[in-house]
Amino acid sequence: MSLYNDIAHVKDRHAQVLTELSTLEDAPDALRSHEAFLADLQEHLANADSSLAEIHARTRVGRERHEKYRDSTMRRLMYRATGKREQFEEKADDEMRSYYSALEEENKLRAQRDMLEAQRSEALAEKQSLEEGCVRRVKLRAELDAMYERLFSGPTAEFPEEDAQEEAVRSAKSRHHSLNKELNNHRKALQCLARAQVTTKEALLFVFEARKACERDMLGFGGTLADFRRANSLSNAQQKVSQTQMLVNQARGLDPDVPQLPTMDIVQIDMISGILCDNYIFNMNYLNMIYHSFDQVKVAEEFLASVFRAAKRREQHLKNEVEDTAGDLENAQRKLHRVREEAFMNAADPPPPYAEKTREAMIVDR
């Protein structure tokens, strides 16, 4: 009866938590809806500010022109002297009407803007209240889960259905965590492959520069400077190839589906040998070896592009699987929560002892 005693001790608190949770059940949905409303208000407010700034500029210009006609005694006298007083009065009236029309529009926009600002202030205060409700809901859920975990964790002979669902949750959690770990490793492997594509392109560029230097040398436009550029470019290419190989090996350690990188051999001849053996036959053989290195790096570049595309497809497949297992885990946890709540209710209000004896007596009489 220890389980029943433990449940009896927390029965009242359990009822309080469930009652409060029932009032907060819609809090997350209400918060999401309210945030959308607040974002819409913010957009309208930004548009109102923009329109108000524009109309304010027009009002300022209109006011200046209106005041110029209204206060300019000299202008008024000139029009009167030339017999054009009516034209002056007409222009002054037009400027006055234009100014007051713009001022009226500005005041209308300002009133709308003030209303939007008031709505935004109210919405921000309401958002804070909804956020507090969501936080409170999370805490109550955590308290309820902790209560159930203390009472029902491990085998409970009185409630075999709870034990079965608990095992289902463990299985779903294990599957989800395993796939999530695989997805995280796969994404790290993708980062390595993306960097490897960059270093391969850089290696290809260095080999191409070495090829051009060698070709210029064969045409008689090279000399010692061409030998130096060729050797330096090939040395840089070798460094990039080494970086590529390291990155691909890292990716293979994270994701066993990443295949091995094709061979990339960068021809290396030291500067002294290049200077001492600087003749047409030597340069022709050297150029052929550079061409061979270029072809190998080009093959590796295309290979890596293909591997990266395949890895992106696997990432999407793994992501879908992780989302599916997350849903399965959530459903299993929700069902476990429901089973535990029912078990709690049954244990908190067990049938009277005589009911079992009466049932046994009825079976014997039969």
User: How far, in Å, are 17, 178, 233, 256, 258 from residue 253 at the CA level?
Assistant: 48, 17, 30, 6, 9
Domain with CATH 1.20.1330 in the chain: 168-348
Q: Please list the residue range(s) of the chain that carry CATH number 1.10.287.
A: 10-153
Residue 66 has a pLDDT of: 46
- Please state, as a whole number, how many other Cβ atoms lie within 10 Å of the Cβ of residue 210: 27
Place of tokens 């009825």: 362
Q: Which letter does DSSP use for residue 259 in this model? A: P
Long-range contacts of 314-323 (CB under 8 A, 24+ apart): 314/186, 314/257, 315/183, 315/186, 315/187, 315/190, 318/179, 318/182, 318/183, 318/186, 319/183, 321/179, 322/176, 322/179, 322/180, 322/183
* pLDDT tens, residue by residue, 34-72: 888 888 888 888 888 877 777 776 666 555 554 554 444
Q: What tokens does 241 get?
A: 């190839």
User: Which residue in 207, 300, 295 sits closest to 247, CA to CA?
Assistant: 300
Residues 174-187: pLDDT tens digits? Answer: 999 899 899 999 99
pLDDT digits (tens, 9 = 90+) for 284-324: 777 888 889 999 999 999 999 999 999 999 999 999 999 99
CATH of domain 10-153: 1.10.287
Q: What is the CATH number of domain 168-348?
A: 1.20.1330
The token pair at 321 is 């699987």
Nearest to 126 by CA among 242, 37, 213: 37
Q: Which residue has the tokens 């590796």?
A: 300
Taking the C-alpha atoms of residue 30 and residue 36, their distance in angstroms, rounded to an integer, is 10
pLDDT at 162: 79
Q: Which of 326, 316, 344, 281 is nearest to 152 (CA)?
A: 344
* pTM score: 0.58
Residues 52, 317: Cα–Cα separation, whole Å = 51
pLDDT tens digits along 208-254 = 988 887 777 666 555 566 667 777 888 889 899 999 999 999 999 99
Give the separation between CA 292 and CA 300, rounded to whole angstroms: 13
Cα separation, 79 vs 56, whole angstroms: 31
